[in-house]
Amino acid sequence: MIDKRSFQIEFQPLGLRDQFPAGISLLDCARQAGFDLVSLCGGKGTCGRCKIQIVSGNVSELLQNEKDTLSAEELAKKYRLACQVYAESDLVVNVPAESLSAPQRLQVEGVEPVVALDPIIQGYTVSLSAPSLSDPRGDDERLFEALERQHGVICKSIDEEVLQSLSRSLRSLNWNISVTIRNTEIVSVDPVESRRLGMAVDLGTTKIAGYLVDLETAKTLSATGIMNPQISYGEDVVARLTRAQMSPQDASTLQAKSLEALATLSIELCQEADGARPDEIKEIVVAGNTAMHHLLLRLPVEQLIKAPHVPSVSQAIDIKARSVGLSVAPGAYVHLLPNIAGFVGGDHLAMLLAIKAWEAEAPLMAIDIGTNTEISLVMRGEITSVSCASGPAFEGAHISNGMRAAPGAIDHLLLADQQIQYHTIHGSKPAGICGSGIFDALAQLVLNGVIDQNGRMQGGHPRVRENKTGREFVIVSEEERNGGSAITITQEDVRELQLAKAAIRTGITVLLKEKELSDSDIDQVVVAGAFGSYLDISSAITVGMLPAIPLSRFRQVGNAAGMGAKAVLISKTARETVQKVAREIRYIELAVAPDFNKTFMQAISLR
Ligand code: FES
């Protein structure tokens, strides 16, 4: 009998979802959705490279070759071989990065700030005299005295774990050692030739970027990005905070996922930097939004969710890396940047640091666009910030054919004379449309009169058609996709985008009004973040999201938060500056800003 069922399958973290007929393997579903999994054996179930994880839903029975190929741990975590498994209901599937045949675009590059090397971690080579009957001082005393005599450094304590191995290390290294000191504490004792490395992390809601830095030269040895594994617990911060608040078990899992990501980053970064080892990492700096910060430390989150959205901790925090299970140097610390408010965290501070915002002489607006968008207006050294709930539309979520910036995503688009031209990431076959493409599409539809100022889609264009819920504009038709489902922008998508862009425009307007400024008074707009780097500024101006000022006043700086985290890693001065600035920033809660509703309603319009 022919199986006529079909199921919705959502592929995370790509953000791709579509309807697939029953009876085709998940490997083929992935191909139909427009992306490829590694499949060295061609789908025979023998290479074990097409691993995916079933997050929810029912699938076909586990086969013997899957039992043979997957580890017990993978099986317990519901990993399956995509070529051997079939949907039996709607599914949510997690695609690990290593199973993708082409990597997802993860922004790690940014404009490096010029910061003098002055890390909190200092290293010294020390030669000690061996004890004798006439000099039977303890090993710790002997080390403190040698440091003071040879380098003028006064140390007051030794990390507990370093202390446990100190006597053995001194003797095995023949009394010639490299000592790493943080403030006045010895955090590592190593062979003379060992390196002092640091890891800077931008802990984003969707993506996590990491940088391995040589603390003696400030050189970035490697940089990489991974998806935040918390994503299966919710696309935005509020969803994850709510899970953590409702269930202590979910709170623990969310913390474990962040820590797992930091551990993965440390290993991957070392692998990319030839010969580096995680135990050479002596300091980690993490810049994250307040929610990611609280979930990482498993701090209470109830007061973050409820108005007036107060962080449990706003000042910078230092914790021992091992206390949260990170395997780096024994005495290494994790330094978390301060938080400004419930929804403006250390990542925004890091961005402001990277662009040296407080040095701006004329009005500067700094915008970090993401699921949550943070905006600061800097004027005569004063910084005022807001947070806008822009939602996950920029990541392609809640958009009918939206997807993340992965191979096959349409990232730029042009409509002229009824002809559509688009560009896909890696030049792959079109699979969906990502944030920058969605904005281009919206702007092009406005410019071509397909959408009016109120966002209403007009009939009459050959690419506009009716669907079940209203009109839609066809970007890639079924025929152009060889029978695959069409890629469209629907009337509902337009409404979703209007809300997202209005949230950002409202934040900008409220900040300007507060200082009695208008758009034209802004001297510089700095746009940061992965989405912000690929966004076509003129499209964002066309749809009324960004101020209509000359393009020359805009600067796209890439992952500035990551660069700011690196600055804090290599410079004690930068670390102190961030802490001082965090106390001085004024935060405005948008919801209680005068005329908020009126401003938001005006911002919905597409000019
Ligand atoms: S493609 Fe080789 S095991 Fe699935």
* Ligand 1 atom with minimal separation from the 42 CA: 1
* pLDDT tens-digit readout, 566-576: 999 999 999 99
Q: Is 50 in the pocket of ligand 1 (CB under 6 A)?
A: yes
pLDDT at res. 339: 96
pLDDT at res. 110: 65
In the structure, what pLDDT confidence band is assigned to residue 101 with cuts at 50, 70 and 90? low
Among 28, 67, 79, 81, name the best residue to mutate to test ligand 1's pocket (greatest count of ligand atoms within 8 A of Cβ): 81
Is 185 part of any domain? yes
**d(Cα 216, Cα 238) in Å, to the nearest integer?**
40
In terms of domains, do 253 and 211 share one? Answer: yes
Please check the confidence at residue 482 and state whether its pLDDT lies above 80. no
In terms of domains, do 180 and 212 share one? Answer: no
Q: Is 25 in the pocket of ligand 1 (CB under 6 A)?
A: no
- Confirm if 558 and 533 have CB atoms less than 8 A apart: yes
pLDDT at res. 71: 83
- Determine the average pLDDT of the residues in 493-498: 94
In terms of domains, do 204 and 322 share one? Answer: yes
- Rounded to an integer, what is the distance from CA 184 to the centroid of its chain? 33
**d(Cα 200, Cα 569) in Å, to the nearest integer?**
6
Among 80, 83, 85, 95, name the best residue to mutate to test ligand 1's pocket (greatest count of ligand atoms within 8 A of Cβ): 83
**d(Cα 434, Cα 396) in Å, to the nearest integer?**
5
Residue count (the chain): 607
- Confirm if 108 and 211 have CB atoms less than 8 A apart: yes
**Residue 42 C-alpha to ligand 1 middle, in angstroms?**
6
**d(Cα 375, Cα 348) in Å, to the nearest integer?**
8
**Residue of 360, 377, 369 whose CA lies nearest to 557:** 369
Please check the confidence at residue 198 and state whether its pLDDT lies above 90. yes
Q: Choose the weakest-confidence range: 139-143, 205-209, 258-262, 567-571.
A: 205-209
In terms of domains, do 316 and 260 share one? Answer: yes
The two structure tokens encoding residue 251: 């709170």
Secondary element (H or E) of residue 527: strand 524-528
Is 391 part of any domain? no
pLDDT at res. 102: 61
Q: What are the DSSP calls for 429-440, one per residue?
A: PP-EE-HHHHHH
- Confirm if 448 and 415 have CB atoms less than 8 A apart: yes
pLDDT at res. 496: 92
* Ligand 1 atom with minimal separation from the 45 CA: 3
* Ligand 1 atom with minimal separation from the 38 CA: 1
**Residue 472 C-alpha to ligand 1 middle, in angstroms?**
37
In terms of domains, do 73 and 135 share one? Answer: no
DSSP category for residue 183? T
- Determine the average pLDDT of the residues in 506-530: 94
**d(Cα 429, Cα 246) in Å, to the nearest integer?**
42
Which one of 68, 99, 130 terminates a domain? 99
Q: Choose the weakest-confidence range: 45-54, 178-187, 300-309, 396-405.
A: 396-405
- Confirm if 480 and 473 have CB atoms less than 8 A apart: no
Please check the confidence at residue 484 and state whether its pLDDT lies above 80. no
Q: Give bridge partners of residue 177 from the DSSP assignment.
A: 126
Please check the confidence at residue 360 and state whether its pLDDT lies above 70. yes
Q: Is 41 in the pocket of ligand 1 (CB under 6 A)?
A: yes
**Residue 545 C-alpha to ligand 1 middle, in angstroms?**
45
**Residue of 428, 490, 433, 431 whose CA lies nearest to 456:** 490
Is 171 part of any domain? yes
- Confirm if 189 and 144 have CB atoms less than 8 A apart: no
Please check the confidence at residue 107 and state whether its pLDDT lies above 80. no
Please check the confidence at residue 158 and state whether its pLDDT lies above 90. yes
In terms of domains, do 314 and 228 share one? Answer: yes
Please check the confidence at residue 204 and state whether its pLDDT lies above 70. yes
* Ligand 1 atom with minimal separation from the 37 CA: 1
Q: List, in order, residues 6 or more apart from 358 with CB less than 8 Å away.
A: 352, 378, 381, 383, 581
The two structure tokens encoding residue 607: 């000019």
Q: List, in order, residues 6 or more apart from 278 with CB less than 8 Å away.
A: 266, 267, 270, 327, 328
**d(Cα 443, Cα 413) in Å, to the nearest integer?**
10
* Ligand 1 atom with minimal separation from the 43 CA: 1
Among 28, 41, 52, name the best residue to mutate to test ligand 1's pocket (greatest count of ligand atoms within 8 A of Cβ): 41
**Residue 69 C-alpha to ligand 1 middle, in angstroms?**
10
Please check the confidence at residue 598 and state whether its pLDDT lies above 70. yes
Is 346 part of any domain? no
Please check the confidence at residue 478 and state whether its pLDDT lies above 70. yes
Phi, psi at residue 147, to the nearest 5°? -65, -40
Among 26, 29, 49, name the best residue to mutate to test ligand 1's pocket (greatest count of ligand atoms within 8 A of Cβ): 49
Q: Is 80 in the pocket of ligand 1 (CB under 6 A)?
A: no
Please check the confidence at residue 103 and state whether its pLDDT lies above 70. no
**Residue 94 C-alpha to ligand 1 middle, in angstroms?**
16
**Residue 33 C-alpha to ligand 1 middle, in angstroms?**
18
- Confirm if 320 and 335 have CB atoms less than 8 A apart: no
Is 73 part of any domain? yes
C-alpha dihedral sign at 318, 123, 125, 191: positive
Among 24, 29, 39, 86, name the best residue to mutate to test ligand 1's pocket (greatest count of ligand atoms within 8 A of Cβ): 39
* pLDDT tens-digit readout, 290-331: 999 999 999 999 999 998 899 999 999 999 999 999 999 999
Which one of 336, 358, 383 terminates a domain? 336
* Ligand 1 atom with minimal separation from the 81 CA: 4
DSSP category for residue 122? E
**Residue of 563, 581, 452 whose CA lies nearest to 201:** 563
Q: Is 48 in the pocket of ligand 1 (CB under 6 A)?
A: yes
| CATH number for 20 | 3.10.20.30
Please check the confidence at residue 493 and state whether its pLDDT lies above 90. yes
**Residue 82 C-alpha to ligand 1 middle, in angstroms?**
7
pLDDT at res. 398: 79
SS3 25: strand
Please check the confidence at residue 517 and state whether its pLDDT lies above 90. yes
Phi, psi at residue 180, to the nearest 5°? -105, 130
* Ligand 1 atom with minimal separation from the 82 CA: 4
In terms of domains, do 159 and 143 share one? Answer: yes
> What percent of the chain has pLDDT above 70?
98
Secondary element (H or E) of residue 406: none
In terms of domains, do 206 and 319 share one? Answer: yes
- What Rg, from alpha-carbon coordinates, does the chain have? 26
Which one of 141, 173, 190 terminates a domain? 190
Q: Is 81 in the pocket of ligand 1 (CB under 6 A)?
A: yes
Is 143 part of any domain? yes
Q: Which domain holds residue 69?
A: 6-99
**Residue 8 C-alpha to ligand 1 middle, in angstroms?**
22
pLDDT at res. 70: 87
Q: List, in order, residues 6 or more apart from 180 with CB less than 8 Å away.
A: 121, 122, 123, 186, 187, 188, 189, 190, 196, 282, 329, 331
- Confirm if 509 and 586 have CB atoms less than 8 A apart: no
**Residue of 336, 220, 209 whose CA lies nearest to 276:** 220
Whose Cα sits closest to atom 3 in ligand 1? 45
The two structure tokens encoding residue 405: 């910036």
DSSP category for residue 451? B
**Residue 476 C-alpha to ligand 1 middle, in angstroms?**
30
In the structure, what pLDDT confidence band is assigned to residue 353 with cuts at 50, 70 and 90? very high
Is 316 part of any domain? yes
- Confirm if 568 and 547 have CB atoms less than 8 A apart: no
In terms of domains, do 16 and 135 share one? Answer: no
Please check the confidence at residue 413 and state whether its pLDDT lies above 90. yes
Q: List, in order, residues 6 or more apart from 172 with CB less than 8 Å away.
A: none
Strand duo 207-214 + 176-182: pairing: unpaired
* pLDDT tens-digit readout, 108-123: 666 666 788 999 999 9
pLDDT at res. 310: 93
Strand duo 524-528 + 364-368: pairing: parallel
Phi, psi at residue 378, to the nearest 5°? -110, 125
| CATH number for 263 | 3.30.420.480
Is 292 part of any domain? yes
Mean pLDDT of the residues in the chain? 90
Neighbour tally for 137: CB within 10 Å: 12
- Determine the average pLDDT of the residues in 327-339: 96
| CATH number for 126 | 3.10.20.880
**Residue 494 C-alpha to ligand 1 middle, in angstroms?**
39
Q: Choose the weakest-confidence range: 3-7, 89-93, 392-396, 403-407.
A: 392-396
Please check the confidence at residue 191 and state whether its pLDDT lies above 90. yes
pLDDT at res. 217: 92
Please check the confidence at residue 3 and state whether its pLDDT lies above 80. no
In terms of domains, do 309 and 204 share one? Answer: yes
pLDDT at res. 231: 79
- Rounded to an integer, what is the distance from CA 183 to the centroid of its chain? 30
Strand duo 317-320 + 333-336: pairing: antiparallel
Q: Is 38 in the pocket of ligand 1 (CB under 6 A)?
A: no
**Residue of 349, 116, 372, 364 whose CA lies nearest to 234:** 372
pLDDT at res. 105: 58
* pLDDT tens-digit readout, 19-43: 888 999 999 888 787 777 877 777 8
In the structure, what pLDDT confidence band is assigned to residue 480 with cuts at 50, 70 and 90? confident
Count CA atoms within 13 Å of residue 603 on its CB side. Answer: 25
In terms of domains, do 30 and 55 share one? Answer: yes
* Ligand 1 atom with minimal separation from the 46 CA: 3
**d(Cα 17, Cα 234) in Å, to the nearest integer?**
15
In the structure, what pLDDT confidence band is assigned to residue 586 with cuts at 50, 70 and 90? very high
* pLDDT tens-digit readout, 225-269: 888 888 778 778 888 999 999 999 999 999 999 999 999 999 999
Phi, psi at residue 505, to the nearest 5°? -60, -35
| Helix residue ranges, H only, 156-198 | 160-172
In terms of domains, do 48 and 167 share one? Answer: no
In the structure, what pLDDT confidence band is assigned to residue 585 with cuts at 50, 70 and 90? very high
Q: Helix 596-604 vs helix 491-514: angle between axes, to the nearest 10 degrees?
A: 130
How many structural domains compose the chain? 3
